[in-house]
A and B are shown apart, each in its own frame.
Chain A
């Protein structure tokens, strides 16, 4: 653990150090270049706003109405039949839609079942091995104005499903039920 925490606290400062020293060595006007590049960041964040707001509002309505819960409990028996533990089903369904909701559920599962239980380990693995597809798509396509997403959403969701199934199988093999 100490190694992991050390690596994650050192890596960013070391990266900054490398970039700054290398830039200076190559005689780049570092400060001016930094400011110039940073200006783009302001524009980008502002142009992202409508995309994020639209998506977040829709998700919020879906959640607050209780429809998300209903959707999850409707699908739970089906997925449980396939062999997916029923306690993990809500997390598996929410993970691609909402990052904050998924993190909340993971926390709740870990709190309820204990971090070292089967469900606790499974939730941890699932949370770490997939990303919020809808958010990633919204942000990346939104920022550069891609209107036709092609197969991106389908590919992303199928990848999520593969990740979830893989988590269940791998955690079962390594830690047992």
Chain B
């Protein structure tokens, strides 16, 4: 599906530019975005190196295992096919914790480590059940404090920049629960078709 979306956006865009005569803009955007992507990857290096380095200390020292133990009863329910003591669980938990506090740049490296561990578990290049669940929770965003939005609201002179924290948490809660339900629904459909 991602193949179709990817090709679709580019092809529709090029055809549309033919019709509207915006080919010049497309050319410019094409190379600028390629540039931006390189810059983004490079700037990710700093974040990834820092957090993965720190996380390694947490892992070796046993801190990560302690955190896992604390939150394990809840999270094992979401990921029944991951053994409770597997390192994947620790990274999943750290990713959720970082997301909760809006530490986006700390959450990504931990999410990547979690994926890596889950891939080791499944051993294929196909998304496993737990990977899909993990992504569903991540895409529905589990932020408690939307710092960026608060900053924008402050900039435009809101009387109460943080008043949206409550509504955001509620909406996040609904979308995360929704994501988990939809995820389960799709999972049982896969099982019924015999490829769970």
Contact = CB atoms under 8 A, between A and B. Distances in A.
B82 interface: no
A174 to B, nearest CB: 6
A165 B65 CA distance: 38
A17 B136 CA distance: 32
Interface in B177-194: 178-179, 182-183, 186-187, 190
A137 B156 CA distance: 32
Given A116-B160, A125-B164, A141-B127, A159 B37 contact: no
Contacts of B33: 53, 56-57, 59-60
Interface stretch (A62-70, A75-83, A84-92): A62-70
Given A41-B109, A66-B22, A159-B140, A22 B52 contact: no
A65 B28 CA distance: 11
Nearest to A149: B127
A103 interface: yes
Interface residues of B, number: 105
Contacts of B111: 140
Interface in A46-63: 46, 48-49, 52-63
Contacts of A137: 2, 135, 139
Interface string A30-45: 1001111111111011
Contact of B175 (A23, A114, A160): A160
A7 B20 CA distance: 50
A79 B79 CA distance: 35
B132 to A, nearest CB: 5
Contacts of B1: 149, 153-154
Contact of A131 (B34, B106, B119, B138): B138
Contact of B131 (A23, A39, A146, A153): A146
B70 interface: no
Contacts of B20: 65-66
B184 to A, nearest CB: 10
A45 B41 contact: yes
Given A34-B54, A156-B135, A60 B32 contact: yes
A130 to B, nearest CB: 5
A106 to B, nearest CB: 7
Nearest to B112: A143
Contacts of A57: 10, 30, 33-34, 37
A124 B2 contact: no
Nearest to A143: B112
Contacts of A30: 57
B74 interface: no
23 contacts: A1-B162, A8-B101, A20-B57, A28-B61, A33-B56, A41-B51, A45-B42, A52-B40, A57-B37, A58-B7, A62-B10, A64-B25, A65-B22, A66-B20, A114-B156, A124-B164, A125-B168, A137-B139, A140-B138, A143-B116, A160-B175, A166-B170, A174-B167
Q: What are the nearest 3 A-B pairs in CB distance? A: A37-B56, A128-B146, A163-B175
